[in-house]
Amino acid sequence: MTKLLSVRLVAILVGLGFALIALYSFVVGAYAAITEEAAGHVPYEKPEDIAYSFDGPFGKWDIQQLQRGFKVYDEVCAACHSLKYVAFRDLEQIGYDEGQVKAFAASKQVPGIDPNTGEATMRPGLPTDYFPSPYPNNVAAAAANNNAIPPDLSLMTKARGDGTNYVASLLAGYAEPSAELLEEHPEAAPGPGLYHNPYFPNLNLAMAPPLTTAGQVTYDDGTEATVQQMSEDVAAFLTWTAEPTLVARKQTGWPVLIFLLFATVLAYMSKKQIWAAAKRKGD
């Protein structure tokens, strides 16, 4: 009995500890938010809530949208941003055949070694190669972008809250700051080499608007390439690069949940039967 009471006391203390930690975190977060707002923090917009085919527990990839998004990345974003965790052969997962992948890889130059001299060189890509960086190093990247190094986009939608919507909203959201905003927050005015975007945390970023006009990319399926459409398509593509197994994971989850439910019911019935026999024996 004493041992049981000790275990219960420890469990209560552990639970109380977790509750105090959660309460402390809440108080600290609330205080930080209040003081930040009181200090005149410039408010930024929450990402637009956009419906995608892969949303929800039964979501699926829209292969045509992924291919459109890949085209936007290749023709617009690849000039500054890399996809270092994506191999050319991964494109077969979004509907491209082996020949198309080989041709696309061969059209790109990737770092290699000259077999005769052993010196570093550039060579046509192979399907097993990964998307190359547009810059030889970070110094060159910063020099070409107002001292801001363009981030790799492979995992971007996983690295940002509400990542897919954030990317789409950011790309389509460039605009001049309103007079009301500047009057209340003069610090929101973009400085030299910066561009205003209400979805970026400090409202100004070094990346110039990459998608500026309708028809900037010509889609193979005939979809009208508006700025909003291109933004949503490339955001969907970057969601796939960040988590290519997203849909497969959802599809696997349902059988697992059904099995766990069945196993729980079976375990409960077994427990009832075993303890019923023990109870009869005790009586």
Which positions make up the binding site for heme c? Answer: 77, 80-81, 207
Q: Write out the binding residues.
A: 77, 80-81, 207
Quickly list DSSP for the chain: -HHHHHHHHHHHHHHHHHHHHHHHHHHHHHHHHHHHHHTTPPP-PPPP----TT-STT----HHHHHHHHHHHHHTGGGT---TT-BGGGGGGGT--HHHHHHHHHTSEEEEE-TTT--EEEEE--TTSBPPPSSSSHHHHHHTTTT-PPPP-TTHHHHSTTHHHHHHHHHH---PPPHHHHHH-GGGS--TT-EE-TTSTTSEESS--S--STTSS--TT-----HHHHHHHHHHHHHHHH-TTHHHHHHHHHHHHHHHHHHHHHHHHHHHHHHHHHHHHH-
Q: Is there a contact between 52 and 60 (Cβ–Cβ < 8 Å)? A: no
Burial class of residue 269, CB neighbours in 10 A (0-12, 13-18, 19+) = exposed
